[in-house]
A and B are shown apart, each in its own frame.
Chain A
Amino acid sequence: MNAIEVEHLSKIYKGDIKAVDDISFNVKEGIIFGFLGPNGAGKSSTIKMLVTLTKLTKGSACIFGIDVVKEPSKVRELIGYVPQELSADGSLTGYENLLLSAKLYSINPKERTERIRTILDVMGLTQRSKDLVSLYSGGMVRRLEIGQAMLHHPRLLFLDEPTIGLDPAGRKLVWEHIRKLNKEWNTTIFLTTHYMEEADELCDQIGIIDRGKISVIDSPQSLKKKVGTGTITTCLDLGGHQKDAQTYLASLVGGLAASITEISSGKWQFVVPDAVENAPKILQRLNEHHIALKDLEIKSPTLEDAFLQYTGTRLEEGSSKYNLKAVRRQRRTFKRFG
């Protein structure tokens, strides 16, 4: 069964700003699906429509076959949602935040205590449950929020930029919890991210989204495989061939490298299509001609390369229109939680 079915979905804001531009996709039950794209690509706008917070301008969306426009309250019972901002209430304790969610999802009082206890335990927050959330670290707040969204055992969990602003240790811990919820609780997860590693580490399927449109949907492995291109960066001792280095190297590696560039004095970069196959061959040829290599660095294709290939832009550049807003939001979040 499909957890999410989206057809020709658009979100157009005042002033004809197309945040989401006619996208269609399905997400199978049980997987971790990620929307990868820069700030302002339309990720949050899509989530907000799917969790029934904003109106759909065009198209349709169903969660487990239930239409988000026609039966929003039914949809709300099936899903959990963690917004991008650190949104646990800082003026309540961790326990109270969970209790609030439990009551809003009408979990009966007998079961409530047990579920809250389990969630605190699973998320590693039992010790701090009586403290006000304003005293929590960013990572703890995020875990608490994911816990809040999981209390009613939703079949589908929406996470909007789950690790934005977290330090590497906090990020790893959140990843672990997301995987656990997916594997052990069999929760389908829909997340958005602009972090390559996050999409690569966590997701079974990735949709690359930029300027409101989905360019491609596939698994991280096959996205990388399709790109194929890797790079070899190394310092070469070319002996007597210093002057005609470029042509000399070109003659050596023949058609194996797409481009050969001297990026700094004596340091060369080979861009290698189908890197898995061809990179070893290039190294072998250099070796055969007794060219000494120093500081060798081989880079296999990354999602970044896939992103570049499918969207024509690098992820960090993105579309800058909304960046100011995103930065402000992050700053506010950090002000709140120190």
Chain B
Amino acid sequence: MVSVIDFIKKTGVILEFEVRKIIHDPFELFVRMIQPILWLVVFGSVFNRYRIIDTGNLSYISFIAPGIIAQSILFTSIFYGIAITWDKDSGILAKLMATPTSRGSIVLGKGLSAGVRGIVQSAVIIVLAIPLGVTFDFTLINILGVIGIIILAATCFACLSIVFASLLRRRERFMGVIQLITMPLFFASNALYPLEAMPQILQDLTRINPLYYVVDGFRSLLITNNVTNVPLDFGALLLFTFFFILAGIWGLERLME
């Protein structure tokens, strides 16, 4: 019991100080918002006008808005590992790991801080999407659900990134590999087009892509309000996140060796 309380407390401490860092220097947070906004404003508006992709009753811009939110979370969190390699090279991580703080707290705390970034980014994208004609379905329970998914997704991708950082070690390699995996994750999902538009093999692959569940959850809660799949989305994301936290702990230990 004592150790559970200690785990939660220490996770909170790690999260607190990661958030303090964002507050001291929010530059990166803002810069990372520009890309999703461009996707929405340029790509979304153009495709919306010409109705190139069949999205049924939904306007295309309403269809991709949840996809763009998911994308912004993916693209921000997946680079989290670079901060870890930096912490490793500068001794910050070694010092942290020599304190009585469990590895789990360190990984989870850092992962959750990616969730905080995600919440801020998502809020900005939602606010900007309204004047572009996206109709959101806001209810309190839906918003809480969306926040839950943001936190799970950001933690999941940040931990995945820590694993890659520990495997690749050097920043140059890390950047290359991360660039390489983000695009397939993004395209092999339902972010930009409906599943039915994809060949069968890609449709099957989306099932092992965490981003699929993120987009599906967002779309169900924010746009269609068809929540049948939401428990599945949450369940799958919880599993992915839990697995990547464990892998992240392994990654941290590996980084120290």
Contact = CB atoms under 8 A, between A and B. Distances in A.
B148 interface: no
B91 interface: yes
Contacts of A86: 90-91
Chain A CB within 10 Å — which of B6, B10, B92, B102 has the most?
Answer: B92
A145 B92 CA distance: 10
Contacts of A106: 6, 9, 100
A73 to B, nearest CB: 6
Interface stretch (A96-104, A230-238, A309-317): A96-104
Nearest to A44: B94
B157 to A, nearest CB: 22
Contacts, number: 75
A76 B95 contact: no
Given A54-B256, A76-B100, A91-B25, A83 B89 contact: no
Interface in B71-106: 89-92, 94-102
Contact of B24 (A92, A145, A333): A92
A209 B10 CA distance: 37
B21 to A, nearest CB: 5
A91 B24 contact: yes
Given A92-B20, A96-B20, A83 B99 contact: no
A100 B16 CA distance: 9
A117 to B, nearest CB: 20
Chain B CB within 10 Å — which of A77, A105, A106 has the most?
Answer: A106
B100 A104 contact: yes
A53 B92 contact: no
A229 interface: no
A323 B92 CA distance: 22
B17 to A, nearest CB: 5
B143 to A, nearest CB: 31
A86 B92 CA distance: 8
A148 B100 CA distance: 14
Instruction: Place the interface of chain A in its size category.
Output: 35 or more
Given A55-B257, A332-B90, A79 B20 contact: no
Interface string A67-108: 000000100110101111111110111001000110111100
A73 B89 contact: no
Interface in B93-121: 94-102
A331 B6 CA distance: 37
B20 A105 contact: no
A92 B100 contact: no
Nearest to A149: B95
Chain B CB within 10 Å — which of A53, A55, A88, A332 has the most?
Answer: A53
B10 A104 contact: yes
Interface string B13-33: 100110011001100000000
Nearest to B3: A73
Contact of A82 (B10, B24, B95, B97): B95
Q: Is the interface of B mostly helix, strand, loop or mixed?
A: helix
Given A83-B91, A91-B25, A103-B13, A53 B99 contact: no
Contact of A85 (B20, B91, B96, B98): B91
Contact of B94 (A83, A89, A132): A83
A102 to B, nearest CB: 10
Contacts of B6: 106
A101 B94 CA distance: 13
A51 interface: yes
A26 interface: no
Chain A CB within 10 Å — which of B10, B89, B94 has the most?
Answer: B94
Contacts of A53: 94, 97-98, 256
A28 interface: no
A82 B92 CA distance: 10
Contacts of B97: 53
A87 B95 contact: yes
A336 interface: yes
A85 B89 contact: yes
Nearest to B95: A87
A18 B176 CA distance: 32
Contacts of A48: 94, 256
Nearest to A158: B98
Nearest to A79: B98
Given A53-B98, A92-B21, A106-B100, A100 B13 contact: yes
Contact of B91 (A54, A79, A87, A103): A87
B47 to A, nearest CB: 39
Given A53-B98, A106-B100, A87 B24 contact: no
B136 to A, nearest CB: 35
Interface of B: 6, 9-10, 13, 16-17, 20-21, 24-25, 89-92, 94-102, 256-257
- Which are the 8 A-B pairs with shortest beta-carbon distances? A87-B91, A85-B91, A83-B91, A81-B98, A76-B100, A103-B13, A104-B99, A51-B98
28 contacts: A48-B256, A53-B98, A53-B256, A55-B257, A73-B100, A73-B102, A79-B98, A81-B98, A83-B94, A85-B89, A85-B91, A87-B95, A88-B92, A89-B17, A91-B21, A91-B24, A92-B17, A92-B20, A92-B24, A101-B99, A103-B13, A104-B10, A104-B96, A105-B100, A106-B6, A149-B95, A329-B89, A332-B89
